[in-house]
Structure 1
Amino acid sequence: MGFSTLPEARRYRLTNATVPACLTEAADLVPDSEGLALADLTIDGGILAAIRPAGRPDPESDPKGLPALDLDRGMVWPAFVEAHTHLDKGHIWPRAPNPDGSFDGALTAVRGDRAAHWSAADVRARMEFSLRCAFAHGTRLIRTHIDSDPPQHRVSWPVFAELRKDWAGRVELQGSALVGIDRVLEDPYFDDLSHTVRAHGGILGAVTYPVAGLEAGIDRMFRHAIEHGLDLDFHADETGDPSVRSLALIAEAAIRHRFRGRVLVGHCCSLARQPEDVIDRTLDLVAEAGLAVVSLPMCNLYLQDRRAGATPRWRGVTLLHEMKARGIPVMVSSDNTRDPFYAYGDLDALEVYAQATRILHLDHPVGDWPRAVAATPAEVLCRPEFGRLAAGGGADLVLLRARSWTELLSRPQADRIVVRAGRAVDTTPPDYRELDALLAPQGEQA
């Protein structure tokens, strides 16, 4: 398949398609033992007009002779949703590598690169490159964290707002502030940050870690979010130290403040290292508080338990199965791409899903885990129209040759067709050479 093979008519059909039943709203589809169903889809002017069991067209809405593409049981997914990324850090690895792959090494490298290079032009060029990657791979909605230590917040947030406007209709963007929790207690900086976030339609966010004022900082985040009608997004417990337990503090604060907004918490790695009674109490609190959790399996597999000359002993991910069993919304996402926190990645949500399946055992059965890169993050990010195959919804699709889970997860699916508003788009990712002049190591720049 290539991106020129779709019918060019305004109205056409995709026949003999395999769809994940958990991502559709067509009640008459009959899934097999793997949760996959054969379907025919009708596209009409950018709208997914109908989803029907394969071979059962409606004579009135699907007249004989309507142009069609037989997918030969290839999969059709809705466009992907990424709930946790860092577009402003993306692709700085060539000029700011992490010397030892550690978390501390990443912090040091990013701080140095930010101070030396993060002008508006630099941030925009790298964010734009990342968006082009995500678009080519089939992503429709992204939340990005934005490094907001002063004075960077006054540089990066206007760039984000410009890109959100420029990319509207292709990739919808949400922005969340990223600062240390201790910064939340700093005035007048925090008031200025809050004003900046609100002025650009953002989400209030912070990184929690063991520091004096941790609980006071969390409380201030909730009070401020209530006062200004903001949602919250936390990085929490990105460590293997079992004594680090801020996820429970966030849940307790949400309950104490009777918070009615959305709270998304990322990482939560240390939870997997804690005693069972602590885990049970924490998950009960998270469920009661209505928090959602996003795991970043590729980045945390890379960072956690890294010791020179030693083999890692754990996978770095949080307890998604146990959370899901309690009704907690869970999802997976890319996190960092080609920066000191993760040297690899290309904002390909399908790669994230494939790797998460291996790392987190999201299989046997697959069940509704495909929702973790589609419908669930779309709901948590308050854009439920994305991430699902629904009659009357947008025809933003990803067409794959794979016919089953084992075919899907065994190859990178580089020949996918990405469909936007019913039309195929070019799926060629941007060439890294475009960034060469921008990312030359210090001393080599012209």
Structure 2
Amino acid sequence: MSEPSFLPEARAYRLRNARVPGAFLTGGVPAGAILDGDACALIDIVVADGVIAGLLPAGASPDTLPAADLAGRQAWPRLVDAHTHLDKGHTVARTPNPDGDFPGARDATTADRTRHWDAEDLRRRMAYGLACAFAHGTGAIRTHLDSQDSAGEGALRDQAATTWAVFREMRAAWAGRIALQGVGLTPIDAYATAYGRRLADLIAESDGLIGGVTRPTGGLHGGALAEIDALLDRLFRLARERNLDVDLHVDETGDPAAASLDAVARATLRHGYEGRVTCGHCCSLALQPDAQASDTIARVAQAGIRIVTLPTVNMYLQDRQRGRTPRWRGVAPVQELMAAGVPVMVAGDNCRDAFYAYGDHDMLDTFRASVRILHLDHPLAGAPALAGPVPGAMMGLPHAGTIREGAPADLILLPARSLNEVVARPHADRIVVVAGRAIAARRPAYEALSGEAAPW
């Protein structure tokens, strides 16, 4: 099943006996379809002219159409990676983080950005990351883009303008393959300066989202930022003036005194921005006293804030000290958030840079790791939503991460019959389908990052 020739060449065809997690069937499970113990439906998927033309109980599709029989194997939509850093990716070899911790990551990234991030470098690395994601079956990506005031680092160029120009190129070049969104990333105190207004204008001109990190320039997450309310008010005013949604890095620390998430929720309510704010990380929430955490979660739910948890990267960074084994997993309390009605999604975050030395832009791999790290199993039935329809809806992409009639026939066909089998194995032999056709794209060789030819 690893060959694209598995699919019929016809304009219209059937995928018979596909097993689809109910979490992806946002238009409803076809009447009469059999559900297994994982709430996966056994169905036939009719594809015509690159679109899902019908979803029927297994065996009910018309015999006149050519068919490929999945024999009860899984069919997933292409997945959604709602929080990445394409501009940082694949820099770990040239500018490593000596200790693997957050201060080292911050300093290494600043050094690499100052020395290397011209348009050519950004273009090469971002295209490489997108090629990896496309080959793995990712259909939509939101990337945060470092947009600090370069003058403050002694750089001779306006880094934000360069990075956003390359992002716009990538968005146009990959249209129809991967839907791209960009978020401005800068320490939150930048929005209290004239540069912050310039940055907000650049983001608006680029159809992006206003974003930032709830820590001061040059500082770390942790404790209370005295000016947080005033800085958030400034950010929200800039956002409202330009009709921009908001996506923030929040409380990426194990310090339980870090409570920016509650401040963001209060600011969201104060500015009438309910349903337009996303917060990533929110690690310290897991270590706060239960009563404090519960109050914050209730306010987050009231404000309609969406939460992105980044399990692989937060396990890598949080509680890291040389010579000491970490004592906690570093992730947000996602089960408590979901129980309160907060939309939660998982995402990949950094890839082979100072903040996370590993990864391959593979959202299926991120999903598999997230299930184990966050205990999203027993039962597994609801877990796929965190990598599909929930982030798709957050990005405003109605068909992303879903399988429904009228949507593009963008699928991942997996040699697994159950959700347990999906999580248990990497599935390098998956088939990725875009607009009804299996793609021939393969993961690019590492040599492509330096313009070398791969030996095979």
Structure 1 length-normalised TM? 0.95
**Aligned: 1:382 with 2:396:** yes
Tell me which of 366, 371, 386 is aligned to 2:380.
366
Aligned match for 2:412, one of 398, 402, 421: 398
Per the alignment, residue 108 of structure 1 pairs with: 107
2: CA distance, partners of 1:250 / 1:21: 33
Q: Distance in 1 between matches of 2:45 and 2:451?
A: 45
360-369 vs 269-278, which deviates more?
360-369
* Identity of matched residues, %: 48
1:52 matched residue in structure 2: 56
User: Is 1:412–2:426 an aligned residue pair?
Assistant: yes
Q: Distance in 2 between matches of 1:437 and 1:366?
A: 42
Alignment of 1:209-358 (within 5 A): 209=215, 210-260=224-274, 262-358=276-372
For residue 27 of structure 1, report the CA deviation from its aligned partner: 3.7
Runs (4+) of structure 1 exceeding 4 A deviation are: none
Residues 122-169 of structure 1: CA deviation (Å, up to 9, x unaligned)? 001100000000000001110000000122101100110111011100
> Partner residue of 1:88?
87
Structure 1 residue 260: Cα displacement: 4.5
- One-letter amino acid of the counterpart of residue 69, structure 1: A
8 Å Cα contact 1:73-1:403 kept in structure 2: yes
Residues 21 and 381, structure 2, Cα contact 8 Å, conserved in 1 = no
CA distance in 2 between counterparts of 1:261 and 1:55 reads 41
Structure 1 residue identity aligned to 2:354: P
User: Is residue 443 of structure 2 the alignment partner of residue 429 of structure 1?
Assistant: yes
Report if the CA contact (8 A) 1:232-1:263 is conserved: yes
- Change in 2 beyond 3 A, CA 1:310/1:302: same
2:161 aligns to what?
154
Partner of 2:128: 129
Assess, with a 3 A threshold, how the Cα gap between structure 1 residues 377 and 37 changes in structure 2: closer, same or farther.
same
CA-to-aligned-CA distance 1:377-435 (integer Å, 9 cap, x gap):
01011112211110111100000010012211111010000000000002410000111
**Equivalent residue for 1:8?**
9
Give the conservation status (yes or no) of the 8 Å contact 2:136–2:432. Answer: yes
How many equivalent residue pairs? 432
Tell me, yes or no, if structure 1 residue 197 matches structure 2 residue 203.
yes
Give the letter for the 1:307 counterpart: Q
What CA distance in whole angstroms lies between the structure 2 residues aligned with 1:30 and 1:218?
49
Distance 1:113 1:161 in 2: 22
* Distance of 2:229 and 2:159 partners within structure 1: 25
Q: Is the 8 A contact 1:333 1:352 kept in 2?
A: yes
* 1:73 CA displacement: 1.1
Query: Which residue of structure 1 lines up, in the alignment, with residue 170 of structure 2?
Result: 163
* SS of match in other structure, 1:394: coil
Mind listing any 5+ residue stretches in structure 2 that lack a counterpart? 150-157, 216-223
Per the TM alignment, residue 214 of structure 1 is displaced from its structure 2 partner at its CA by 2.1
Amino acid at match of 1:259: Y
| Distance in 2 separating the partners of 1:274 and 1:432 | 42
* Separation (CA, whole Å) in 1 of partners of 2:440 and 2:135: 7
Which of 189, 192, 199 aligns to 1:185? It is: 192
Secondary structure, counterpart of 2:258 in structure 1: coil
Whole-angstrom CA distance in 2 between matches of 1:261 and 1:417: 35
SS at match of 2:35: coil
**1:223 CA drift (Å):** 1.4
Aligned counterparts of 1:38 and 1:437: Cα–Cα separation in 2:
45
Shift of 1:312: 0.7
Which amino acid in structure 2 is aligned with residue 389 of structure 1? Answer: I
SS at structure 2 position matched to 1:226? helix
TM-score where L is the length of structure 2? 0.93
Verify the 8 A CA contact 1:178 1:206 in the aligned structure 2. yes
Deviation for aligned residue 1:437: 5.6
Whole-Å Cα distance in 2 between the matches of residues 36 and 292 of structure 1? 26
1:235-279 per-position Cα deviation (integer Å, ceiling 9, x unaligned):
000000000000000000011111145101000000001000100
Q: RMSD over aligned Cα, in angstroms?
A: 1.2
Cα separation, partners in 2 of 1:246 and 1:350, compared to 1, 3 Å: same
Give the Cα separation in 2 of the matches to 1:105 and 1:137: 30
Instruction: State the one-letter code of the partner of 2:201.
Output: H
Q: Aligned partners of 1:84 and 1:133: how far apart in 2?
A: 16
- Aligned partners of 1:294 and 1:261: how far apart in 2? 14
Give the 3-state SS of the residue equivalent to 1:69 in structure 2: strand
1:211 Cα deviation (Å)?
Answer: 3.7
Answer yes or no: is the 8 Å Cα contact 2:274–2:303 preserved in 1.
no
Letter of the 2:12 counterpart: R
Pairwise CA distance, 1:212 = 4.5
In structure 2, the residue matched to 1:67 is: 66
Cα separation, 1, equivalents of 2:422 and 2:201: 45
* Number of the residue aligned with 2:152: none
Cα displacement (A) at 1:227: 1.6
